[in-house]
Amino acid sequence: MRVTIFGATGLLGQPLMHVWDHDEVHGFGSKQADIRDPRQIAEAIGSTPPDWIVLAAAYTDVDGCETNRELAEAVNTGGATNVAEAAKQSGARLLFVSTDYVFDGTKGTPYETDDPRAPRSAYGRSKAQAEVRIAEILPDSCIVRTSWLFGVSGRCFPDTILKLAASRASIDVVDDQHGSPTYAPDLALAISQLCRRQARGIVHATNRGACTWFEFARQVVAAAELPTVVRPTTSDKFVRPAERPKYSVLSPKSLEAYKVVLPTWQDGLARYMQERKSAK
C-alpha cells in the first residue's frame, strides 16, 4: 500500500509514520507541504497516487484558534478541503482526523457518530466544517474523530502535569470535563488498521474508558510516584478563551464494527510513562 501523511511531524503524525508494515509511506510537515496551498499538496502527492492519504495536519491550538479564527478556518477547513480535492483528483482514499470538540458536550452518554455536530469553539467549528466539506467532496472518505491525545512526540497534558508537579506541592485541575485520553501510538495503529480494512464514513477512535482532567492528572502524578497533591477544581475557576465540552466521550461502536479495539487509557498511560523514561 502507498500512504501519504500530512501532519507527519505532529504528536499523532510521528507515531503514524511508523505503524505501517511493508508499505510505502511519505510524510509531510507544514514546511514540506502547506495544505493551504493546493500546488504544494499536488507536489507532495506526486505523479503516482497513493492508495490512502491520511490528513493529520491541523492548527490544533484550541485557545489560539479562538483569537486567530482566520488561520483556524484557512488551515482546518480550507486546508482540509484542498486535500480532499487533491485526493479526489488523484483517486486516493482519504482518512481525515477530526475531534470530539465537534460536539457541545451536553449529551451525558457516549457520542455516536450520527449525533449532531454542535461545536462551541472556533477550533471545533473549523473541524466540523471540514468534516462536512470532505463528505461532500469524497462521500467514501473516512473521518476518524478522536480525543485528548497524548504521547512523547509533542506537547500534551501529562507532560504539562509532570512539569508542574516537579516544582509544586499541589496543583488544581478541572474535574467537570469528561473525556477519553488517547495514546497517540494506539490511535496511529488503529488508523492503519482502518485504512487496511477500507473504512468509510465517521469512526470514533479513542482509548477505552473515560475520566476527568483531574482524574487523568492524579493518575499521571501517581504513575510518576511524585508527592504532589492534585486537587479538583471547576472550569469556572479556570477560564480559558475557548469553551471546552463538559462531556465528550465517544462511543467505540463504530470502531468495533471494523474489529479494532483500543486498550484502556490507563494502559496507554503506563506505556507513555515507560517511553518517556527511556527517551531521557
Specify the stretch interacting with ligand NAP by CB under 6 A; choose among 53-61, 196-204, 215-223, 269-277: 53-61
> Cell triple for residue 35?
495544505
Nearest distance, CB of residue 31 and ligand NAP, angstroms:
5
**In this complex, which beta carbon is closest to ligand NAP, that of residue 67 or of residue 170?**
67
> Is the CB of residue 59 less than 8 Å from the CB of residue 65?
yes
Report the nearest approach of ligand NAP to the CB of residue 140 (Å): 20
Element (H, E) at 82: helix 80-90
CB atoms within 10 A of CB 135: 16
Please tell me whether residue 22 binds ligand NAP under the rule CB under 6 A: no
Binding mask 65-94 for ligand NAP (x = CB under 6 A): ----------x---x---------------
211-212 and 178-179 beta bridge pairing: antiparallel
The helix/strand/coil state of 203 is: strand
| Contact region with ligand NAP (CB under 6 A), list: 23-31, 84-92, 227-235, 261-269 | 23-31
Span of 7-15, 192-200, 245-253, 254-262 interacting with ligand NAP by CB under 6 A: 7-15
Interaction of residue 268 with ligand NAP, rule CB under 6 A: no
Q: Examine residue 202 and tell whether it contacts ligand NAP (CB under 6 A).
A: no
Instruction: Name which of 93 and 181 has its Cβ closer to ligand NAP.
Output: 181
Cell output for 263? 486498550
Which residues, numbered 208-267, are part of the site for ligand NAP (CB under 6 A)? none
Q: Active-site residue 111, yes or no?
A: no
Bridge partner residues of 52 (DSSP): 3, 93
By the 10 Å C-beta count (0-12 exposed, 13-18 middle, 19+ buried), 38 is classed as middle
Query: Where does this chain touch ligand NAP (CB under 6 A) — which range of 17-25, 32-40, 210-218, 244-252?
Result: 32-40
Instruction: For the segment 133-172, give every residue that binds ligand NAP (CB under 6 A).
Output: 146-149, 154
Q: How far apart are CA 263 and CA 219, in angstroms?
A: 16
Residue 95: strand pairing partners: 54, 142
Helix (H, G, I), strand (E, B) or coil at 155: coil
Active-site residue identified among 59, 101, 111, 123 = 123
| 4 lines the binding site for ligand NAP (CB under 6 A) | no
Q: Which one-letter amino acid corresponds to residue 98?
A: S
Instruction: At 46, list the grid cell.
Output: 506526486
Q: Give backbone dihedrals phi and psi of 276, rounded to 5 degrees, phi first.
A: -65, -40
Residues of the shown chain interacting with ligand NAP in the complex, contacts defined by CB under 6 A: 6-13, 29-31, 33-36, 56-60, 75, 79, 97, 99, 127, 146-149, 154
Positions marked catalytic: 123
